Amino acid sequence: MILKLSKYAGFCFGVDLAVKAALEHKNLYLLGEIAHNEILMRKLRSKNIKIVENIHDIDKNVKNANILIRTHGVGKNITDEIKSRNFNIVDKTCPNVRIIHSIVRNISSETKLIIIGEATHAEVVGIKNQVENKKNVTIISSLDDLKNQIQNINFNNNFTVVAQTTFDDLEFEKITDILKEKIVNICIHKTICRDSLNRRNELLNEISDSDFVIVVGSQKSSNSRALYNISRKIKDTIFIENHEGLNFEIIKNKNKIFITSGASVMPATILEIVNYINLNCQITKNQINTN
């Protein structure tokens, strides 16, 4: 058996910076989960880092707290609430998300905004909250969703389009192709992050040379799910959170296994999976750098 690990496996740079900041600060509260990964969140809780869904969940007697804004970003309404409590803001909004916020804040009041992404995803909520008039915002979650909403879109308006950074790029192209056909005055920003694109493109390149794929990540992680959905349509694939999800009856006779992960998976989790396979399978070649 040959094992090959994605060169992008583990944290993306945005999550890596946020996790390091969380571990460096004292009296820290996370405003929502720092990333969609239960193993990571358990580790942070073990460091006495507290997680709240909103500022009102923090006891009124708490003083001098540090509030970490996660990679997904938040709207101005949230930062105003934090400032009203005189808390210190540790802003770890992903730089790619900051770019989207800047685009959205700078569109004219007459321009309508289309966000391509999951309506309930924290990043999409944060993008929407950059806009004062929420009636100017349409969220499209998929090609089917566009077809359901299309009759409600006034194509005579000016539109700006952005995307959730982890949205599927092929689905994005299909959606924007239809929008370009319908809307004359439209400005499309393909704001899918390079890290997501790199992981997906690498996966597509490696699939043909592998006979099995392991995608590591949480079911709650949109970028992990995207990798799994790409892979399972082409190759035998399992989607696991950690080494406990491995089934050696399935993988023991495979010749070459490619391992990839979502952007919120701890490197230690990937190393555990690799070591577990090494211990339980006959590895003839290990194309893995775990440094």
Domain edges within the chain: 2-10+194-287, 13-93, 96-188
Burial class of residue 149 (count of CB atoms within 10 Å of its CB; 0-12, 13-18, 19+): middle
Fold of 96-188: Cobalt-precorrin-4 Transmethylase; domain 1 (3.40.1010)
Q: At what angle do helices 169-182 and 194-207 cross, to 10 degrees?
A: 120
Q: Do domains 2-10+194-287 and 96-188 have the same CATH topology?
A: yes
Tens of each residue's pLDDT in the chain, 291 residues: 899 999 999 999 999 999 999 999 999 999 999 988 999 999 999 999 999 999 999 999 999 899 999 999 999 899 999 999 999 999 999 999 999 999 999 999 999 999 999 999 999 999 999 999 999 999 999 999 999 999 999 999 999 999 999 999 999 999 999 999 999 999 999 999 999 999 999 999 999 999 999 999 999 998 999 999 999 999 999 999 999 999 888 888 899 999 999 999 999 999 999 999 988 777 666 656 554
pTM: 0.89
Within the chain, how many helices (H) and strands (E) appear? 11, 13
Strand partners, 113: 137, 160
Strand order in the sheet with 112-116: 137-140, 112-116, 159-163, 186-188
What's the CATH architecture for 2-10+194-287?
Answer: 3-Layer(aba) Sandwich (3.40)
Take residue 187 and report the two structure tokens written for it: 């400005």
Distance (Å, whole) CA 77 – CA 46: 30
Pick the CATH number of 13-93 from 2.40.50.140, 3.40.50.11270, 1.10.3720.10, 3.60.21.10: 3.40.50.11270
Residues 212 and 232: their CA atoms lie apart, in Å, by: 10
At a CB cut-off of 8 Å and minimum separation 6, what does 252 contact?
281
Helix orientation angle between 13-24 and 95-105, rounded to the nearest 10 degrees: 100
